[in-house]
Amino acid sequence: RENFTLLTGLQARKLNFDAGKRCTGVDVVDGAFGRTTTLHAAREVILSAGAIDSPKLLMLSGIGPAEHLESVGVEVLLDAPGVGEHLQDHPEGVIQWEAKQPMVETSTQWWEIGIFTPTVQGLDRPDLMFHYGSVPFDMHTLRQGYPTGENTFCLTPNVTHAKSRGTVRLRSCDFRDKPKVDPRYFTDVQGHDARVMIAGIRKAREIIGQPAMAGWAGVEQFPGQGVQSDAEIFDYLKRTHNTVYHPAGSVRMGAVEDVMSPLDPQLRVKGVSGLRVADASVMPELVTVNPNLTVMMIGERCAELIRGS
């Protein structure tokens, strides 16, 4: 396309602002030669680095919680306490069985099936999702000493609307340093996330315990049939849970008067001009499903907002 240029091999260092706090461009570093170049914006800068790196770049540019920025040596341009807060994810567990019959060994997609279900009555949306995998999923269980095998299948319950909230923080003022990400799984005071995940393990056992699965399901490898009480299941989950790489909400949009929402409803960064964010970080709440399509639509909506401004 004539109006699109893709530059590769570059890493964003910081956003630039004029005296009126208008974003004028971005400093980028050539990864091969270490040279810094400034890209100038003709109209606006659209930050789309994702729920981890968008808050990182904002904070490196002086937009974020003032006390934190000062602690790592970043000059504060704008005290925005919501940048890097409200990080959300779909925390996931896993339960795995030996298969009595040969599983598919060649496939273009090992995770063909998804399940959505509520764990309690009266919900307007399912609070539990499963992926089904026809392969061993043992990256977090092996290190805990659980058995595994080559011919297995698993269900992976995850919490679609987790209440726990994490943070993204700078490790230093050096753009080359990775940020410190603390998802803070299972820290909600209501215990919602733990309850849903425990219910997911029990629901998985109920599904695989159906007569239709009798010819397929062998020994439960993890957590194992000896793990039955809520406390035992949760102890297992705390040691073996994982992310499904759906971080969101760390630069959320919200009402203009909400100081903990860095963006306004037009995806503009409050307190400055000429800067929008368009990625999963803008979500006030993570969607129930895998967020890929939603993120694509955020980009489409951002384009509409720009054209209409």
Q: How far apart are CA 198 and CA 176, in angstroms?
A: 39
Q: Is 40 a catalytic residue?
A: no
1 Cβ contact list (under 8 Å, min separation 6): none
Exposure on the CB side of residue 161, measured as CA atoms within 13 A: 13
- From 131, 161, 241, 246, the catalytic residue: 246
User: What's the rounded Cα separation, in Å, for the pair 13 and 41?
Assistant: 15
Question: Among residues 64, 58, 9, which one has the least CA distance to residue 33?
Answer: 9
Distance CA 208, CA 197 (A): 17
User: How does DSSP classify residue 9?
Assistant: S
Nearest Cα neighbor of 243 from 56, 94, 85, 84 is 94
Q: How far apart are CA 110 and CA 131, in angstroms?
A: 10
> CA 57, CA 275: separation in Å to the nearest integer?
12
Identify residue 122 by its one-letter amino acid code. Answer: G
Q: Output b/e per residue, 209-244; b: 16+ Cβ within 10 A.
A: eeeeeeeebeebbbbeeebeeeeebbebbeebbbee
Does residue 217 sit in helix, strand or coil?
Answer: strand
Instruction: Tell me the catalytic residues.
Output: 246
